[in-house]
A and B are shown apart, each in its own frame.
Chain A
Amino acid sequence: EVQLVESGGGLVQPGGSLRLSCATSGFTFDDFAMHWVRQAPGKGLEWVSGISYNSGNTLYAESVRGRFAVSRDNAKNSLFLQMNSLRGEDTAFYYCAKTPYSSSSGDHFDSWGPGTLVAVSS
């Protein structure tokens, strides 16, 4: 069974940094691209970032480009999101999501984690 479990969320001040992790099991991690999707309180889902199976290609939403960095450790079956220069509008639940493709540009997400909450506030 595919399992994705996010961690690392919490309360951070504006301008601060946070690193999210996603531990995975139940599938061959290094065969598949992975993504981050977030949901702000009372709002819809928003795609944040994606990374190909071998880290060769990374993609970012305009709203986070230059502030967030996605990475993965295939030896540890883990996905990461380094978030810098955090703003109030980054407050959201952050979900890691698996695709059934090796390329980061695949069209859907076939498994999701339960999410971790990031709150940016002074």
Chain B
Amino acid sequence: SYELTQPPSLSVSPGQTATITCSGDKVGDKHTSWYQRRPGQSPVMVIYQDNKRPSGIPERFSGTNSGNTATLTISGTQAMDEAEYYCQAWDSSPLWVFGGGTKLTVL
């Protein structure tokens, strides 16, 4: 079965850049999305189709996907960005697979 691997946790200082990776075999051949989940809230999509940002999501969120790694980058990280982040890959099988999640701490 297909698997996606994320680092369990990441800590950054306010204003720094947070880079969250999502590794999977040839994930660059799939469409990836990223979801943010703050404690006690529903997941919110922050990136879809590798690098597209939904309306209402700040420009500091960006995504890339190539080879075996998809990446979510948060530039100028703010305290409100503290949350769990999940990557998700899709292909036309169809297949939906999620990573294990990364807990981002802003301190």
Give the contact-size bracket for chain A.
20 to 34
Minimum distance in angstroms from A93 CB to a CB of chain B: 10
Question: Binary interface profile of B, 32-53, with partner A (CB < 8 Å = 1, else 0)?
Answer: 0101000001111100110000
| A113 nearest in chain B by CB position | B42
- Are B101 and A45 touching (Cβ within 8 A)? yes
Given contacts A44-B100, A44-B101, A45-B98, whether A108 and B31 have CB atoms under 8 Å apart is yes
User: What's the count of A-B pairs with C-beta under 8 Å?
Assistant: 56
Given contacts A44-B101, A46-B98, A47-B97, whether A112 and B48 have CB atoms under 8 Å apart is no
- CB contacts under 8 Å to A, within B9-49, are 31, 33, 35, 41-45, 48-49
| Cβ-neighbour of A114 out of B35, B42, B88 (below 8 A) | B42
Question: Binary interface profile of A, 33-67, with partner B (CB < 8 Å = 1, else 0)?
Answer: 00101000001111100000000000100000000
- Are A110 and B86 touching (Cβ within 8 A)? no
Minimum distance in angstroms from B31 CB to a CB of chain A: 4
Answer yes or no: A95 CB below 8 A from chain B CBs: yes
Given contacts A95-B43, A114-B41, whether A107 and B100 have CB atoms under 8 Å apart is no
Minimum distance in angstroms from B6 CB to a CB of chain A: 8
- Are A105 and B45 touching (Cβ within 8 A)? no
Given contacts A43-B100, A46-B98, whether A107 and B49 have CB atoms under 8 Å apart is yes
Question: With a CB–CB cut-off of 8 A, which chain B residues contact A105?
Answer: 92, 94
Question: With a CB–CB cut-off of 8 A, which chain B residues contact A43?
Answer: 100
Question: With a CB–CB cut-off of 8 A, which chain B residues contact A46?
Answer: 98
List residues of chain A with CB under 8 Å of any chain B CB: 4, 35, 37, 43-47, 59, 95, 97, 104-105, 107-115
List residues of chain B with CB under 8 Å of any chain A CB: 31, 33, 35, 41-45, 48-49, 54, 86, 88, 90, 92, 94, 96-101
Could you name 22 residue pairs across A and B whose Cβ atoms are closer than 8 Å? A4-B42, A37-B96, A37-B98, A44-B98, A45-B35, A45-B86, A95-B43, A107-B48, A108-B33, A108-B45, A108-B48, A108-B49, A108-B88, A108-B90, A109-B88, A110-B45, A110-B48, A111-B45, A112-B42, A113-B42, A114-B41, A114-B42
